[in-house]
Amino acid sequence: MPDEALHTALETKHISLPVEGMTCASCSSRIERQLKKLEGVLDASVNLTLETADVHFDPGQIRARDIKESIEKTGFIVPERIVELSIEGMTCASCSARIEKQLDILPGVSDASVNLADETARVVLTHARPASVVRAIQKAGFEATIIEDVEAFGAEDAKKDQQRLQKDFVNLAFAAALTIPLWADMIAGMMGFDWTLSRMSQLILATAVQFGAGLRFYVPAFKAVRAGSGNMDLLVVLGTTAAWGLSATRVIQGLEGHLYFEGAATVITLILFGRFLESRAKRGTTGAIRALMKLRPDTARVISEDGEEVEIPASAVKTGDVVVIRPGERVPVDGEVIQGETDMNESLITGESLPVAKAVGDDVIGGAINGDGMVRVRATRVGEASTLAEIIQSVQNAQSSKAPVQKLVDNIAAIFVPVVILIALATWGGWVLVGAGWEVGMINAVTVLVIACPCALGLATPTAIMVGTGVAAKHGILIKDAAAMEQAQGISAVVFDKTGTLTEGQLKVKSVHPMGGDEAAFLNLVASVQHGSEHPIAQAVLRSVETKLSPVEAFKSHPGKGVEGVVEGRHIYIGNRALMAEVGLNDVALEDASQGLERRGNTVVWVVEVGKGMLGSIAVGDKPKPTAQAAVAELEAMGLNTWMLTGDNRRSAEVMAEKLGVYNVMAEVLPDGKADEVKRLQSVGHKVAMVGDGVNDAPALAQADIGIAMGTGSDVAMHTATITLMRGAPELVAGALKVSQATLRKIRQNLFWAFIYNIIALPLAASGFLSPAIAGAAMAMSSVSVVTNSLLLKRWKLGE
């Protein structure tokens, strides 16, 4: 094979993706054309019968994830499965980078993210088997276990963490106990005391530390070398083994010369101490997840078919089961109250500090604490569909995601260990060349190997993200991924959809104005037409009517304008100015009838009958949420421009905006125009956060740089948004931006420390200004300081 062809073959990667939704040959050819247009795709073949797309591409130019997204943009589905794995044996950023590299070349993996801080991996599969993923990680020199049950794994992992900490402490105590005599010998010599350990005693003590307590460094170092890579453990092993080996040779062969046993033992002991502190600190970063997992009780009392209470595992509760919740107990499932009254503490789920009253018909959230009343609840969402499970999954997804800045860290980590080894060799050679001797050169090279720290680099970003997303969740803010946090840094404009975000969203009929006849009959007619609509105005009218409604025929909705329908043979239109213009109503007449009502902040809808003209109008109004004005003021104080987006007429919209303190108003915007308004702001240089809660807000949430959905709104809005607020409190918008910005500041601080540490430490070590013992202490504390700095985020409070 020619050299060029061989190089191309080595650089080429092949994936076979399943594709759903193809119905004919034009579908498969359309996908092929789309794929072949992509830069980096060498060949693409789509099989309609097998429903697969075979793609050969250059991984240096395009990722499997990009190919998948390209197929989906053509209107087809590439089904995928997300596998979570627990990984044992990672010690630094080089380890996580090695695993990701191994997974990236595995056919059938479209994306892989490895988190060093919590020792997990999140792998997105298209057609690869989970067993293949486990095997690939094992080939990289690590152990992997598939996480089947997140909650069960969380409890088991916490137990393993505790056992590992105990084991690490014993190992540390063993190393320290054997190193202290070596320190005593060194100190006695420095102070002139006539006491010394025999050289053989030093050898025995140092050997026990090196290959007993230090065994935990040799195993992963050997695995890394076998996998053709390197890690921090390899640096420690090379450095300490060199110091121990020189000293052991001198003792065994009876040669004169200084012994470095205390240096090697001290390095191992200090690094073990640092690892122990680091592990303890890392446990704190996962505290939010563990707290959430503890919220759901183990058991639930269910009413059996014969009416008796039966205690069963909470995981066994099915949708439709009736659950009894006594005073002081935790709610086992999401459900609806069917009997009794109480109040519930939902603070750990929504961040709402005050108890929430619950009565028949109200929804309850699994994990909440019941107050003084006893209630019966019909289960509506159980297992993975429950609110608590979704919150846990959302937080875990965010914690396993990577900020864009992490790409730089990964690139550095991939070459860090080889570069450090080269620097150590250059240091040794340099000292020999200047005439200092090979022994001085070796000790300085050992110092270089020991002080280099890829750990701090690897922990800088994930620990901050884990603590930041955890503390945000504690306050009722769910952040989808690390990229959302990074986007929050430059937000300059916040756009609120008015109804349900700044206002209560519960419109009420303020006044009824029939052109003639009975007011009650007029209202009944309007309600009869609208009882097929879910629009807030329609619901307000329906709530105001107590009489029996007439059936509606030929009902039709005009999005953003109104509705029409036939009631008892009468063809009725109900809507705003835009709809009235379509049916030919005079705009001047509308102005005369509505000015006074709209100046009071009301929205006016008109009612027209085909063949008869105007029948009258109805004024509906909403009221601001109690904290809306303060929330807007806080955003303005942060230097952000606030906008209110609404379909209401400009006059009533400006009245509401004035009450709220919003200076910029986008009024009379149709549902399909919301995304265009966001795009317009972006076109003039704004970075936009969009806040909404309805289905028709989803396109605008997707268009915005950050989409923020109220948790009290629709599922569509929440799935589209990058940030979800677990309660309908507008003050959480500023909180979401602030906690994101605070997390990003921590990431930058951590990365600055990790980089500056290595930039300063390596030259100092190579120049002979540091001893191996000091290098070991510095290296151990560098990663501890990064984790500790991230943990300071736990002090963040809403409103700060």
What pLDDT score was predicted for residue 496? 93
| Single-letter code of the amino acid located at 200 | M
Rounded CA-CA distance 54/52 in Å is 6
> Would you state the pLDDT for residue 4?
40
Q: Which residues of the chain have pLDDT under 50?
A: 1-10
Q: What pLDDT does residue 589 have?
A: 57
Q: What is the pLDDT of residue 7?
A: 39
Among 446, 427, 442, 440, smallest CA distance to 266 is for 446
Q: Which of 497, 622, 697, 705 is catalytic?
A: 497
For Cα atoms 462, 213, 200, give the angle at the middle one, nearest 5 degrees. 145
pLDDT of residue 433: 92
Write the DSSP symbol of residue 209. I
Which amino acid would we find at residue 161?
D
What's the pLDDT score for residue 117?
76
Task: With CA atoms as reference, report the closest residue to 97 among 380, 356, 362, 414.
Answer: 414
Dihedral sign for Cα atoms in the order 156, 161, 163, 167? positive
What is the per-residue DSSP string for 729-755?
A: -THHHHHHHHHHHHHHHHHHHHHHHHH
Instruction: Say how far residue 583 (Cα) sits from the centre of its chain.
Output: 49
> What is the sign, positive or negative, of the torsion defined by CA atoms of 670, 675, 678, 680?
negative
Q: Which residues contact 131 (CB under 8 A, 6 or more apart)?
A: none
Instruction: Extract the tokens encoding 65.
Output: 């994830």
Instruction: Evaluate if pTM is beyond 0.75.
Output: no
Alpha carbon distance 112, 58 (integer Å): 18
Q: How far apart are CA 223 and CA 94, in angstroms?
A: 13
Give the full edge-to-edge strand order of the sheet including 143-146. 109-115, 120-125, 81-88, 143-146
In angstroms, the CA 347 to CA 727 distance is 10
Does the annotation mark 497 as catalytic?
yes
